[in-house]
């Protein structure tokens, strides 16, 4: 398995069809689609955000959902369970899954069971299975344009994008 390159370091090499040994090699860093004899055009901030969201979503589609889940994870909150899952399986959770876990924790504010640990309300196996099911939906069906729109409206979006990059 190969490790994915960081987004900013990806480089596409395109060689010419000439058979001579001194054939030129063009380097495309993905910042524009202009021919090599024209200066590259800068992407707008929105264009860069859309490109980052596309790369993110394509990467997340490649990360497999774990099929072997044998341990019971104690937890007191949804976000706490999410952190434990990331540590145990060594892989990220999708941005939208992280946002959803935060929202689920916020829904408990003011409830009669607010201070009760969640693993005494919802069995840890059911809770983990629920997160993985939602994660699969987010990884495989989310539009990168939707992610870009959410990121554009939330200047702190990077706080919910996990920095864990497993070997693929």
- Between CA 131 and CA 66 the distance in angstroms is 12
Residues 6+ apart with CB under 8 A from 84: 73, 75
Residue 28 phi/psi, 5-degree rounding, is -115, 115
- Each residue of 56-114: pLDDT tens digit? 999 999 999 998 877 889 999 999 999 999 999 989 999 999 999 999 999 999 999 99
What is the reported pLDDT for 7? 45
What average pLDDT does range 130-155 have in this prediction? 94
């Amino acid at each position: 398995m190969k490790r994915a390159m960081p987004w900013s370091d990806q480089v596409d090499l395109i060689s010419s069809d000439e058979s001579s040994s001194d054939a030129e090699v063009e380097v495309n860093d993905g910042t524009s689609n202009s021919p090599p004899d024209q200066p590259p055009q800068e992407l707008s901030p929105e264009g860069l955000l859309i490109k980052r969201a596309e790369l993110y979503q394509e990467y997340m589609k490649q990360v497999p959902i774990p099929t072997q889940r044998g341990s019971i994870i104690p937890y007191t909150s949804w976000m706490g369970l999410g952190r434990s899952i990331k540590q145990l399986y060594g892989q990220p959770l999708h941005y939208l899954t992280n946002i959803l876990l935060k929202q689920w924790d916020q829904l408990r504010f003011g409830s009669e069971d607010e201070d009760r640990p969640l693993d005494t309300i919802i069995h840890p196996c059911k809770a983990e299975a629920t997160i993985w099911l939602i994660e699969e939906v987010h990884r495989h069906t989310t539009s990168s344009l939707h992610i870009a729109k959410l990121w554009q409206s939330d200047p702190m979006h990077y706080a919910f994008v996990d920095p864990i990059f497993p070997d693929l």
